[in-house]
Amino acid sequence: MLEIRWHSRAGQGAVTGAKGLGSVVAETGKEVQAFAFYGSAKRGASMTAYNRIDDKKILNHEKYMNPDYVFILDPGLAYTDDITANATDETKYIITSHLSKDEVIAKIPALHGIEDRVFVLDCFTIAQETIGRAIPNTPMLGAFMKVSGMFELEYFQNAMKSVLSKLPQKIIDANMVAIERAYNEVH
Amino acid sequence: MNSKIMELNKVEVWDGNMAATQAMRQADIDVVAAYPITPSTPVVENYATFHANGYIDGEFVMVESEHAAMSGCVGAAAAGGRVATATSSQGLALMVEVLYQASGMRLPMVLNIVNRALASPLNVNGDHSDLYLTRDSGWISLCTFSPQEVYDMNLCAFKIGEHMDVRLPVIVNQDGFLSSHTAQNIYPLQDKEACDFVGEYKPLNAMLDFSRPVTHGVQTEEDWHFEHKAKQHDALMNSTKVIAEVFAEFEKLSGRKYNFVESYKMEDAEIAIVVLGTTYESAQLAVDKMREEGIKAGVVAIRVFRPFPLKEVSDMLQNVKAVACMDRSAPGGSVGALYNEISGALFNSPARPLLSNIIYGLGGRDMTIGVLCDIYRDLDAEAKAGKLNGSIQRFVGVRGPELKYYKV
């Protein structure tokens, strides 16, 4: 069982991202789960979304999770959310920030000593420059492909094309560029 | 069948709300009258989107309240059409008056209830307060434990309720957020397959059949009221035959088997919990953990909440030493509903397991595998001691001082 927790602000596409990842993974024959907790939260409020991926039917409906990966979609949440909650000794973190990796880690004591499990990229700038809106979800998934090695870049891009198929072609193409940039820029 | 087909993949990733909407779309409904409320809002939104995009030939009526939504459904069903809607919590509470009209008028329709707590305090998350509010309303009530089951039970619901031997409205319950907003693999039927399974709607005493004028919703005082209610109860009790047939037919079509009472590892279980909703699936993971510890645990869940499968659930619990009935609803000054049902089921049987009542998960409070394991360990201790640990009822997962009632 692979488990992912997304830290995001409502409106940044975490739910769409989690469901999109689920759809891509489900096509490979695996069982997936994507859910979120936001209650009656409005745009801008801190929220979390979750993925579970397994070879067999997913029966677990608890919110509690020991994540294998933690995605932070908003730079501010790296400091204000408890991003290491219920983490394991192998949990990996992908953080979007305009700061360098060293600068990000320096300000978050919980990440000290686990630098090799922390990955940073600027999803906002990538999304702004490619898609034209600061929606960090698809760049985050591009970065995740690099960090996890789950799928080859090209396979993932093709799979995401069908997930995004309802969007205008121009936006789909921009997302493909965003995914590729994120894949190459995360470190 | 709707004139515009939607091609579906062999596996789709849908949440419970989408699963309900897709089944509704495939069922070729004549009228949906609905008013959105969290967490069932996306059912109404999705359906309106399908309608706007030409995937639904029937009518979609936006009304001013849930009372009006259910009233619209009653009107359309009496007129002679296939009808459905969806709601949650406060919306369901506002519908209650008309729920009794629908069942009393013997009007088949499907109501998706995305289960959520009832205010006050206001809370949009899942518990079974609204499910219990429909207990005596005369509707058939089906429970689901995952988005796949929401899809499956919706298709079955139309077929059960509309059967000429039944003619009753049917509720399909799912857990708010834990099912409604949780996307999982769904293996849907293609439109034609699903539509053929549900079958063509057959009206009975339709008001729009002008060649045979009828009256619906009449007044009957002491001379006839009792006979009407007795016949209604009789129809509900005897719907079990049709429910079993529909489940069997659905299994042939989909390979997915449904029972009045579902269970996991009850064959040799010594202790068990009885639950509703997604907790059934989570509890299976706890059962597996317990068995690694050498504790023979099992879990039982009620699929058909109404008509209540008294005998089936009693049979299931004949060989256990301790049972915890777990109610996800504030019990309001008594033991929980499930505890009452199970006690009643067991009383005329030889079995005398220790029977306790756990109140849990109100307003969406997480029920973890860890807590479920703790509950099993407590049950195991009670079974070994041969007596309950101090009281019949206790609250699990709530902060503050321990709450226990009905000392023994």
* A34 Cβ under 8 Å from any chain B Cβ: yes
Backbone angles phi, psi at B30, to 5 degrees: -75, -45
CB contacts, 8 Å: B178 with chain A: 35, 61
User: Nearest chain B Cα to A33, which residue?
Assistant: B184
Digit-coded pLDDT (tens) for B27-74: 999 999 999 999 999 999 999 999 999 999 999 999 999 999 999 999
Categorize the per-residue pLDDT at B391 as very low, low, confident or very high, splitting at 50, 70 and 90: very high
Provide the greatest CA pair distance for chain B.
70
Alpha helices (H) along chain A: 14-26, 77-80, 101-106, 123-130, 137-148, 153-163, 169-185
Choose the closest CB to A26 out of B13, B182, B282. Answer: B13
Question: CA-CA distance, A147 to A94, in Å (whole number)?
Answer: 8
Question: Could you tell me the residue ranges of all domains in chain B?
Answer: 12-254, 262-407
> Cβ distance B164 to B202 under 8 Å?
yes
Q: What average pLDDT score do residues B204-213 get?
A: 96
Return all residues near A117 (Cβ < 8 A) that are at least 6 apart.
A90, A91, A92, A93
pLDDT score of B401 more than 90: yes
pLDDT score of A32 more than 70: yes
- Give chain B's mean pLDDT: 97
pLDDT score of A38 more than 80: no
Backbone angles phi, psi at A186, to 5 degrees: -70, 140
Digit-coded pLDDT (tens) for A99-123: 999 999 999 999 999 999 999 999 9
- Give chain A's mean pLDDT: 94
CA distance A103 to chain B (A): 36
Residue B366's CB is within 10 A of a number of other CB atoms, namely 16
At B87, which helix (H) or strand (E)? strand B83-87
Question: CA-CA distance, B66 to B72, in Å (whole number)?
Answer: 9
The proportion of chain B whose per-residue pLDDT surpasses 70, expressed as a percent, equals 100
Most B CBs within 10 A among A33, A62, A63, A165, hence the mutation to make, goes to: A62
The DSSP output letter for B120 is: S
User: Nearest chain B Cα to A24, which residue?
Assistant: B13
CB contacts, 8 Å: B367 with chain A: 61-62
- pLDDT value, residue A37: 80
Hey, are the CB atoms on A26 and B284 less than 8 Å from each other?
no
Question: What dihedral do alpha carbons B224, B225, B227, B231 form, nearest 10°?
Answer: 140
Question: What dihedral do alpha carbons A21, A22, A23, A27 form, nearest 10°?
Answer: 110
- pLDDT value, residue B96: 98
> Cβ distance B113 to B173 under 8 Å?
yes
Question: CA-CA distance, B191 to B169, in Å (whole number)?
Answer: 23
* A31 Cβ under 8 Å from any chain B Cβ: yes
Choose the closest CB to A33 out of B11, B38, B182. Answer: B182
- Architecture of domain B262-407 in CATH? 3-Layer(aba) Sandwich (3.40)
ipTM entry? 0.92
**Class of residue B27 by CB neighbours under 10 A (exposed 0-12, middle 13-18, buried 19+):** buried
CB contacts, 8 Å: A58 with chain B: 184
Categorize the per-residue pLDDT at A40 as very low, low, confident or very high, splitting at 50, 70 and 90: low
- pLDDT value, residue B175: 98
Whether B12-254 shares its CATH topology with B262-407 is answered yes
User: Nearest chain B Cα to A28, which residue?
Assistant: B11
CA distance A179 to chain B (A): 22
Most A CBs within 10 A among B11, B13, B369, hence the mutation to make, goes to: B13
Question: CA-CA distance, B274 to B259, in Å (whole number)?
Answer: 15
Categorize the per-residue pLDDT at A43 as very low, low, confident or very high, splitting at 50, 70 and 90: confident
Question: CA-CA distance, B92 to B172, in Å (whole number)?
Answer: 13
* A40 Cβ under 8 Å from any chain B Cβ: yes
The DSSP output letter for B117 is: P
Cis peptide before B213 (omega within 30 of 0): no
CB contacts, 8 Å: B12 with chain A: 26
CA distance B123 to chain A (A): 8
Cis peptide before B39 (omega within 30 of 0): yes
User: Nearest chain B Cα to A162, which residue?
Assistant: B9
Most B CBs within 10 A among A56, A61, A166, hence the mutation to make, goes to: A61
Choose the closest CB to B278 out of A34, A57, A61. Answer: A61
Question: CA-CA distance, B19 to B353, in Å (whole number)?
Answer: 38
> Cβ distance A96 to A73 under 8 Å?
yes
Question: CA-CA distance, B52 to B145, in Å (whole number)?
Answer: 30
Question: CA-CA distance, A96 to A75, in Å (whole number)?
Answer: 6
- pLDDT value, residue A162: 87
Categorize the per-residue pLDDT at A42 as very low, low, confident or very high, splitting at 50, 70 and 90: confident
> Cβ distance B145 to B280 under 8 Å?
yes
At B150, which helix (H) or strand (E)? helix B147-162
Digit-coded pLDDT (tens) for B254-266: 999 999 999 999 9
CATH of A2-185, one of 1.10.630.10, 3.40.920.10, 3.40.50.920, 3.40.50.150: 3.40.920.10
pTM assigned to the model: 0.96
Question: CA-CA distance, B185 to B13, in Å (whole number)?
Answer: 5
Hey, are the CB atoms on B11 and A33 less than 8 Å from each other?
no
At B78, which helix (H) or strand (E)? helix B66-79
Cα–Cα nearest to B329, from B341, B318, B321, B317: B341
Q: What average pLDDT score do residues B103-128 get?
A: 97
pLDDT score of B229 more than 70: yes
Digit-coded pLDDT (tens) for A127-141: 999 999 999 999 999
Question: Could you tell me the residue ranges of all domains in chain A?
Answer: 2-185
- pLDDT value, residue A39: 64
CB contacts, 8 Å: B284 with chain A: 59
User: Nearest chain B Cα to A29, which residue?
Assistant: B11
For tokens 């949990």, the residue is A91
Digit-coded pLDDT (tens) for A56-110: 999 999 999 999 999 999 999 999 999 999 999 999 999 999 999 999 999 999 9
CB contacts, 8 Å: B185 with chain A: 26, 31-32, 57
* A162 Cβ under 8 Å from any chain B Cβ: no
Question: CA-CA distance, B182 to B130, in Å (whole number)?
Answer: 20
Hey, are the CB atoms on B282 and A34 less than 8 Å from each other?
no
Extract the tokens encoding A123. Answer: 């999803």
Backbone angles phi, psi at A124, to 5 degrees: -65, -50
CATH of B12-254, one of 3.20.20.150, 3.40.50.970, 3.40.1190.10, 3.90.25.10: 3.40.50.970
Question: CA-CA distance, A173 to B347, in Å (whole number)?
Answer: 66
Q: What residues of chain A, 52 to 91, have a C-beta less than 8 Å from chain B?
A: 57-64
Digit-coded pLDDT (tens) for B306-349: 999 999 999 999 999 999 999 999 999 999 999 999 999 999 99
